[in-house]
Structure 1
Amino acid sequence: MDRRSFLKTSAIGGTAAAATGLAAPAYAQGNRTLTMVTSWGRGLAGVHDAAQRVADNITAMTDGSLTIDLKASGELVGGFEVFDAVTSGQADMYHAADYYFVGQHPGYAFFTSVPFGMTAQELANWYYHGEGAAKHDELGEIFGLKSFLAGNTGAQAGGWFSKEINGPEDFQGLKFRMPGLGGQALGKLGASIQNLPGAEVYQALASGAIDGTEWIGPWADEKAGFQEITKFYYTAGFHEPGAGLSLATNRDVFNELSPAHQKVIEIAAGECHQWNLSQFLNNNGAALQRLQAGGVNVLEFPDSVWDAMGTATEETLSEHMGDDLYAGIRESYNSSMAASSNWLVKSEGTYRSQRDRVLG
């Protein structure tokens, strides 16, 4: 019996016992402080903002009866250690990009982004009106987490490179920072993939430890200062067309909270998803203009690179299909993406093309 089956069986048994022999749950009374660890360096544009907004809103909406103490990356644990910190009880909740934790389960990638996957709007459609939230919860149950989407960067840039990329062969031996299944796919083109927390990327690029990096988009990338190091910037990437951020609470801690406090966490996370997406999209256009004015070469990958990325993506996403939960998440995700895209392309897609044509 695998771990998931064991836990589900145990949960069923526990539920039956509770139904027959236990009274209604007792919720913790009085004021409480929860420690939130994050994958973000303090002040990282957009991503730290999202974590801080969730923390501040939970505190404000509960009038301080539930206070969130935010610890940025490195202040309590490292940026990639937040998952283990919360599952072990060292911290109460984390804010991060769940694709950092594909080592725990590859299904987590779908709640941030997968290559050639959903845009931000498509992800919201699946999550809030399809099976996405339920799938996230099913995955979190295995690890003792209660998770919600709590931020979105929108479509991310292809990244910063030390040289132009004229074909798939240019990735051979390239030391490139890219997390998640996108990084695994890029590795199939011969790149040496580095998985670094955001707070460490600038120094790695400046020192030559990496030859290039993706981060987020023009505004966050400008704030990070990558334009000080290299001038080759690809604005469209295959790897994160609408990257969600997540808030995850230790499930035992979450269950100890009152229903009102549980609902506050859910609502604060959902509000942050839209607020954060708007923050990125509102700032990216002006930031891109500044980058160009500063001498950055704004480029697009040639079709040969997109084709190679597509082939590598299909290989990567198919490698995990032996896991039933992963397969179920992927099937649900793809079905929702196809349905959403069918309308969005015909409506908003056509409108955007015509608007650009008419207005020049």
Structure 2
Amino acid sequence: MDRRRFVAGGALAGTAALAAPAVAQSAPEVRWRCASSFPKSLDTIFGAGEHVARRVAALTDNKFQIRVFAAGELVPGLEVANAVQAGTVDCGHTASYYFVGKDPTFALDAVVPFGFNMRQMNAWLQEGGGREQLREFFDGYGIVSIPAGNTGAQMGGWFRREIKSVQDLNGLKMRIAGLAGNVMQKLGVVPQQIAGGDIYPALEKGTIDGAEWVGPYDDEKLGFQRVAQYYYYPGWWEGNLNLSFYVNKQKHAELPPLYREALESACRDATIVTMAKYDVQNPAALRRLVAGGTLLRPYPREVMQACYRASGELFGEISAQNPGFRKIYDHFKAFRDTQYQWFRVAENTFDNFVFSMQAQEQRRP
């Protein structure tokens, strides 16, 4: 045997043997528990958290693993922010507007009435300075919030009776999330904050008269069509819903840079995939609901206009009392106004034209 080849080969083998432990040492094992605000039965919205966990594991060669627990398994769905802040869990997957009782500013991380659509929200958070605006606010709660999923525009809810005018809202008990409940309250509605898994029994027993959740696919899975007949659109309070992956600030700081980047990447991917799932599943679900007897109704323009005015009043009132909200909302609104101008030019014109042409074609004999 050639001695020089033997020595060189041995040296290379030794280098490989030494390299493996060095890499292993630089990639520690991390195991996190994630509390979701959503029931496991909803493969879309709960599935967004699971998608993050799968991608993080794949990107770190299974060194960084996150186990996602459904609402109620570790903590109630509406207690996720408290659990992450306290370090009871390492992270959570939720919708920030569930926590407007703590501070209405939370809603700006999720959605506000007559705000952004999905693309506009994504633009504001990812490239328009939105996350930077929100970071200081979340720092105060010891939370790092990362966008991780989006439902797109939602439906306007299920009701036992028709909504023909603003007067029909008076005294109505409705499950509705975020600042939309405050808007509806101005019009006489009695808003209820109820976690997703608890809405059906409340609607069935008559504890509430109406409820909104997400859209046809998720609503059908939760069975709302069996206990309410009228299905309204649009969900003017949710032109999109940004879902958030909450991380305890100390736990986030302890992550190696590679793991932090893997988490960011996984969350961005979850936003794309979740929106795609809803766009695929919602049309077929809506057809099934209507074929099964659901009565699809648009909100009367009178109701929409009253809600729009009430929303403006609410934002003014909150801004006057809450400087932190005002600071972020002013940034949000300036970005929204610019986005609306642009979308009216290209996107809206294109959408309205092709939708009207398709409708004409379908009416032809």
What per-residue deviation string (whole Å, max 9, x for no partner) do you get for residues 228-254 of structure 1? 111100021211111110001001000
Counterpart check, 1:149 vs 2:147: yes
**Residue 326 of structure 1 corresponds to which residue in structure 2?**
325
3-state SS, counterpart of residue 80 of structure 1: helix
- Please report how far the alpha carbon of residue 340 of structure 1 lies from its aligned counterpart in structure 2 after TM superposition: 1.4
Equivalent in the alignment of 1:226: 224
Correspondences of 1:272-351 after superposition (within 5 Å): 272-321=270-319, 322-351=321-350
Instruction: Provide the rounded CA distance (Å) in 1 between the counterparts of 2:289 and 2:196.
Output: 20
Question: Corresponding residue for 1:98?
Answer: 96
Structure 1 residue ranges without an equivalent (≥5) = 1-26
Contact 1:28 1:257 survives alignment (8 Å): no
CA distance in 2, matches of 1:357, 1:249: 45
1:61-112 CA deviation, whole Å, 9 max, x = no partner? 1111111011111101100111111100100001000000112221110111
Which piece of structure 1 moves more, 311-320 or 178-187?
A: 311-320
Higher Cα Rg, which structure? 2
What's the offset of the Cα at 1:213? 0.2
Q: CA deviation at 1:45?
A: 3.9
The change in CA–CA distance for 1:89 and 1:211 in structure 2 (over 3 A counts) is same
Per the alignment, do residues 252 and 113 of structure 1 end up closer, same or farther by CA in structure 2, a change over 3 Å counting? same
**Length-normalised TM-score, structure 1:** 0.90
RMSD: 1.4
Contact kept, 8 Å, 1:181 with 1:317, in 2: the verdict is: no
CA contact (8 A) 1:217 1:235 kept: no
Contact 1:45 1:223 survives alignment (8 Å): no
User: How many pairs align?
Assistant: 334
What TM-score results when the alignment is normalised by the length of structure 2?
Answer: 0.89
Q: Deviations over 1:175-220 (max 9, x none)?
A: 1000100111111111111100001111111111111100101111
Match of 1:73 in 2: 71
Deviation string, structure 1 residues 277-301 (Cα, Å, up to 9, x no partner): 1111221111111111111110011
After TM superposition, the structure 1 = structure 2 runs for residues 1-360 of structure 1, keeping only pairs within 5 Å, are 30-321=28-319, 322-359=321-358, 360=360
Question: Percent of aligned positions with the same letter in both sequences?
Answer: 34
Counterpart of 1:6 in structure 2 is: none
Shift of 1:29: 6.1
SS in 1 for 2:31: strand
Consecutive unaligned residues of structure 2, counting only runs of 5 or more, are 1-24, 361-365
Contact 1:98 1:108 in 2 (8 A): yes
Deviation digits for residues 147-192 of structure 1 (CA, Å, limit 9, x no counterpart): 1110111001110001000111111111100010011111111111
Aligned residue in 2 for 1:14? none
Where has structure 1 moved over 6 Å in runs of 4 or more? Answer: none
Q: Which amino acid aligns with 1:305?
A: V
- Cα distance, 1:354 vs. partner? 1.8
